[in-house]
Structure 1
Amino acid sequence: MQRASVPYFLILPSFLLAAAIILWPLKEIVSLSLHDVNRFGMLKDFIGLEHYRSLFANPDFIAATWRTLFWTAAVVIGTLIVSVPIALILNEDFYGRGIARILIMLPWAISLTMTAIVWRWALNGESGMLNSALRDLGIINTNIQWLAEASTAFPMQILIGILVSVPFTVTIFLGGLSSVPEDLYEAAATEGAGRWDQFRLITLPLLKPFINIAFVLNTIYVFNSFPIIWATTQGGPANSTDILVTYLYKTAFRMGRLGEAAAVSLIMFAILIIFTILYVRLAMREEKQ
């Protein structure tokens, strides 16, 4: 029994640290969401699920929730589609491959907030670089207010989200591709398999665990991503680009409704937990088959 208990004693310090960092704040947020709270964070009367009822009766919260799901799906799926061919190209042996890998991964080292601010300047409706380039190419005659209308602002934010997520995802895929034995490709080529058949029958199945990792990590990261939306439009115009994390920020620090903000954060936490559990179970079931 002493030998069997050794692993539990070894992980006990890490578990206590994780509990202090995660479980205690989670308990405090739950308490905030169940009480009436003043602007200074002081608990007042216990009101139960009133904050949750208020949120689900608020059309702005419902719209932000659906918009968050669409934002997350579009950015994550778009990132995976763009990253796979880039990783395949960078995995090939060609002159300057090292420099190309550095250039692809360099944006990863830049602050996401700074990247979003640069894009806000580039998308400026009057003096932005994008409008200037399109006018020089003869594509447009008048300036487009990219960030002033939801019909253009949100798609551009999705595009920015994809671009800033590519370096991290490509890094994961390159690690996966480096683990694929070259002998498999040589054997497949000997049997007459073309490049597409090699990708479909060898690369993609062996890369699938890394795709799963990238999918889960990017989903969590993008779902909670604050800088892109906030630095470009702050959820405007007229809250039309708000996602849950910006809605939470406005609720807590602009309107001072800390109890509702705590409820929003718990709803976001629940959505991510449910998604992660379902996706991991589905991935494990596919691997067993």
Structure 2
Amino acid sequence: MQRATAPYFLILPSFILAAAIILWPLKEIVSLSLHDVNRFGMLREFVGLEHFRVLFADPDFIAATWRTLIWTACVVLGTLIVSVPIALILNEDFYGRGIARILIMLPWAISLTMTAVVWRWALNGESGMLNSALRDLGLIGSNIQWLAEASTAFPMQILIGILVSVPFTVTIFLGGLSSVPDDLYEAAATEGAGRWDQFRLITLPLLRPFINIAFVLNTIYVFNSFPIIWVTTQGGPANSTHILVTYLYELGFRLGRLGEAAAISLIMFAILLVFTLIYVRLAMREEKP
């Protein structure tokens, strides 16, 4: 009996701490979402699900929800597609590999907000570096307002999201590639397998657990990513680049609608929880023999 219960007692302090960090804020957010709240966060009368009804009748919220899904899918999938070949190259033995790895990882150490500020300057419609470079190359004849038009602002934000997510993902993939024995490649080469066959039959299957980890972590991170959208456009022009986290911020801290902001946070929590449970279930099913 003591042996059976000892592990649970050992993890109990950490479990209590984690529960306090997660459950107490969650309880407070639920309370805010069910009450009328003033700008100072003071609860008024109980309104039930009124904030949720208002949100689902708000076209800006619906648009932000769909845009969040597009943003997350494009950034996460784009990051995985770009990171795999970069990790394969950095895993090769070549002169200057250490420096190349440092250069790839270096952006990870920079504040995401500062990165977004630099990109906002680069994409400035009048004096931005991107317009200057394109004009010098003869690719455009006049300046493009990258962040002032919805047709260009959101795609550029997706591109920025991919670029800033690559270092972390490459780090995960390099850890996975370092665990693949070289003997497998030597045996495959002896049997006549080319580089593509080696990648398809050896590298990719053994890298799959690390791809799963990168996929889940990037999805959670990107879904909640705030600085890129807010710093570059603050959800504009005309709310055309808002995602859920930036729309939540605008409702709560600009417009003082804290109850609706709390409701959005619960909806975001529910979406991520459902995604995580489904993906973990599918991943566990694939790993079963």
Q: TM-score range by the shorter chain?
A: over 0.9
SS at match of 1:140: coil
Q: What's the Cα RMSD here?
A: 0.5
Match of 1:159 in 2: 159
Amino acid at match of 1:194: G
Give the SS at the match of 1:45: strand
Residue 109 of structure 2 corresponds to 109
After TM superposition, the runs of 4+ consecutive aligned structure 1 residues lying more than 3 A away are none
Paired position in structure 2 for 1:69: 69
5 Å-filtered alignment, 1:176-191, equals 176-191=176-191
Displacement, 1:16? Answer: 1.0
> Which residue matches 1:34?
34
Q: Distance in 1 between matches of 2:115 and 2:41?
A: 33
TM-score, normalised to structure 2's length?
Answer: 0.99
Matched, 1:51 2:15: no
What corresponds to 2:13 in structure 1?
A: 13
Displacement after TM superposition at 1:207 (Å): 0.1
1:71 match: secondary structure = helix
String of CA shifts for 1:197-238, please: whole Å, max 9, x gaps. 000000000000000000000000000000000010000000
- Between the aligned residues of both structures, percent identity stands at 90
Structure 1 residue 129: Cα displacement: 0.2
Render the CA deviation track for 1:71-98: whole Å, top value 9, x for unaligned. 0000000000000000000000000000
Deviations 1:31-60 (A, max 9, x none): 110111111111111111111111001000
Gaps of 5+ in 2: none
TM-score (norm 1): 0.99
Q: Which runs of 5+ in 1 are unaligned?
A: none
Correspondence 1:1-289 to 2 at 5 A:
1-289=1-289
The CA deviation at 1:288 is 1.2
Tell me the distance in 2 between the aligned counterparts of 1:165 and 1:3: 44
The aligned amino acid for 1:245 is V
* Aligned-partner Cα distance in 2 for 1:9–1:280: 26
Please report how far the alpha carbon of residue 159 of structure 1 lies from its aligned counterpart in structure 2 after TM superposition.
0.2
1:224-275 residue CA offsets vs partner (Å, 9 max, x unmatched): 0000000100000000000000000000011101111000000000000000
Q: How many residues align?
A: 289
Q: How far did 1:20 drift?
A: 1.3
**3-state SS of 2:268 partner:** helix
Which SS does the other structure have where 1:139 is aligned? coil
1:115 Cα deviation after fit:
0.2
**Partners in 1 of 2:51 and 2:134 — Cα distance?**
47
SS in 1 for 2:41: coil
